[in-house]
Structure 1
Amino acid sequence: MTEKYLLGLSLLVLLTGCASNQGLYEWGQYQETLFVVYHEPELKEEALRGYLEFVETGGTPQHPIAPGLYAEAGTFMLEQGDVDTAIKFYKMEYEAWPESQPMLGMLIENLEARK
């Protein structure tokens, strides 16, 4: 009886720990936005507005915006023809994630040269 009780208590503690795990990064509605952008074009503009608002205001020091989300926002803006905003998001990614600097530095330079 005691073994079953301890096993049940252990499982409860384990499941509670998993349920409260917030993850390392803040992803917002990233997956949902991608689905809408590629599969529901009539809702694309609204989904992108929400995504861009999240990227500009989301994240905390404990849970920063996930790597690549600023660059993804920049790519969305570049596809819309808004080069200045795309560069802004690429620079945000550049500053937030140093490992992306070689590639994004070149991309930013090329976009600024084309303006």
Structure 2
Amino acid sequence: MNMRVLLLAVMTAVLSGCAGPKTLYQWDGYQSSVYQHYQTDDSSLSEQVAVLEESIEKARAGDRIVAPGLHAHLGLLYANSGREQQAMEQFEMEKRLFPESETFMSFLLKQNNREEIK
């Protein structure tokens, strides 16, 4: 009987180790999108935006938190494609979700406002 209990305990430990750690944030396609943005010109801004928007939707559907910087990067992509209002919304969202980004997001918001005035 003790051998069965020991075997069951070992099997439980082995199988639970296979599950892997659950990450705090939903990363999905964010990392590959950023890498693609800085390494190649193969994908258009609209393709990169679509990948990040899909990541946000997957995070919402799975009740997960998006990765830090995702909204900021999406905002920069929006700004580069002439969608200033959506860019500002993404910068505000990044600032709200990650208060430590407030200084940089405020800077980007001010830069965007100056460009709109010109």
| Percentage identity across paired residues of the two chains | 21
Give RMSD over aligned pairs: 2.9
The equivalent of 1:59 in structure 2 is 59
The equivalent of 1:73 in structure 2 is 74
Separation of aligned partners in 1, 2:23 and 2:56: 20
Aligned partner letter, 2:17: L
- Give 3-state SS (helix, strand or coil) of 1:12's partner: helix
Aligned partner letter, 1:112: N
1:82 to 1:53, Cα distance in 2 relative to 1, 3 A? same
The equivalent of 2:16 in structure 1 is 13
Aligned partner letter, 2:94: E
* Structure 1 alignment gaps of length 5 or more: none
Tell whether the 8 Å contact from 2:25 to 2:67 is kept in structure 1 after alignment: yes
Displacement, 1:38? 4.2
1:10-63 Cα deviation digits (max 9, x unpaired): 2222223x2xx4311111211332344345534334531422422553424842
Tell whether the 8 Å contact from 1:36 to 1:44 is kept in structure 2 after alignment: no
1:56 to 1:24, Cα distance in 2 relative to 1, 3 A? closer
Number of residue equivalences: 112
Separation of aligned partners in 1, 2:80 and 2:114: 18
The equivalent of 1:41 in structure 2 is 41
Displacement, 1:113? 2.5
